[in-house]
Structure 1
């Protein structure tokens, strides 16, 4: 029974990826507005109702590529090692992402990544849908911070600041590479700006910058 459940789950994940990858390929080839959900379903040889069971909205076909990152800041804080402050964990995580040229940091000049980002940020309905992911990030991080420190609105305000800083850093890096700058050449500057940004967060959120604020 467990093997059957695992197989079903793998097939489900594979279908999510197949639908999303096919849709993104069609959107990049023809344009987002020129491709219908029916076109995507036909390309994967499934019915529209089947597609909608996986993706309730057309925009979700694109945003699925970012699904693994939804709630990431909250997971980083919740899973940090003992003795490490929330902001230090987030700083290290972002710097590690820069080092790996993780597309979510914006510091990636691979042509396929740039094409995806142009699709995402150049389509108003996708940008609007992206805001729901940002809101989920904030809510997940606020829940972790509130669970550890309490504070209610204080935790939500802190989460909003943190998520906004990470978003702006990624956007600045993306602007650099889309302007033609090499990601490797931009890396030192991206690190310096990230360090500055996290220093500002520490100054504004001192209760999240001390190692003794850890889960007991």
Structure 2
């Protein structure tokens, strides 16, 4: 086998151009976040980010349409996460069961998306995110896309599916924010975990009582 063959992606994997593009996204985003954490989001011009990433400002905007997207790129893979969970669930598992299990698994892993993560770098990032109004506003746009993709995965009539998706995404957001609030107040992730898991189970139980077609 040649080196080129060994390095070639497997079936379904992104090609070389796509992998280079993904690495560019990652490198520019990480450079921007480092500057924002050091100086504050509002105090760092986009030109400084471009210089730190060794690209031109027009090139940066081709990758990131807004300054806020430089930060929220970390959430890009999560926009259709709930939809992927529903689509990939076993045939006998309901959408709500699959989403509940996925959220509980995230709590056990202390996935930052669940809010239950006390790693210093994650804490710093969340303080940047939730302490910057324009980033919070942009985050809601990402969540709106999550609702749309989840509604499509749930299927059925468009309006009921969208209403269900909105409730599910809202529950996950509220649970994550409550976990983050306690972590930010100084509690450890291990200490918060039992309450976080219990709250998630209660919340999904409430969803089942109102979303019987998906339960």
TM-score, normalized by the shorter chain, greater than 0.5 = yes
RMSD: 1.5
Residue 52 of structure 2 corresponds to 43
The offset of 1:22, in angstroms, is 0.4
1:14 and 2:23 matched: yes
Separation in structure 1 between the aligned mates of residue 185 and residue 144 of structure 2, nearest angstrom: 28
Q: CA deviation at 1:137?
A: 0.4
User: Which residue of the partner structure matches residue 142 of structure 1?
Assistant: 151
Q: CA deviation at 1:208?
A: 0.8
- The structure 2 residue matched to 1:105, chosen from 81, 92, 114, is 114
Paired residue for 2:86? 77
Within 1, Cα distance between the matches of 2:196 and 2:123?
17
Does 2:67 align with 1:58? yes
SS at match of 1:82: coil
The structural deviation recorded for 1:161 is 0.4
C-alpha distance in 2 between matches for 1:206 and 1:45? 53
In structure 1, how many angstroms separate the alpha carbons of the residues matched to 2:27 and 2:213?
44
Q: Which runs of 4+ in 1 moved over 6 A?
A: none
C-alpha distance in structure 2 between counterparts of 1:43 and 1:73, whole Å: 34
Residue deviations 1:39-92, cap 9 Å, x none?
000011110011111111100000001111111111111110010000000000
Task: For residue 144 of structure 1, report the CA deviation from its aligned partner.
Answer: 1.2
Unaligned residue ranges in structure 2 (runs of 5+): none
2:193 aligned with 1:153, yes or no? no
Cα separation, 2, equivalents of 1:11 and 1:71: 22
Name the CA distance, whole Å, in 2 between partners of 1:8 and 1:154: 40
2:208 is matched with: 202
Per the TM alignment, residue 8 of structure 1 is displaced from its structure 2 partner at its CA by: 1.8
Shift of 1:7: 2.0
Between 1 and 2, higher relative CO (CA 8 Å, sep ≥ 6) is seen in 1
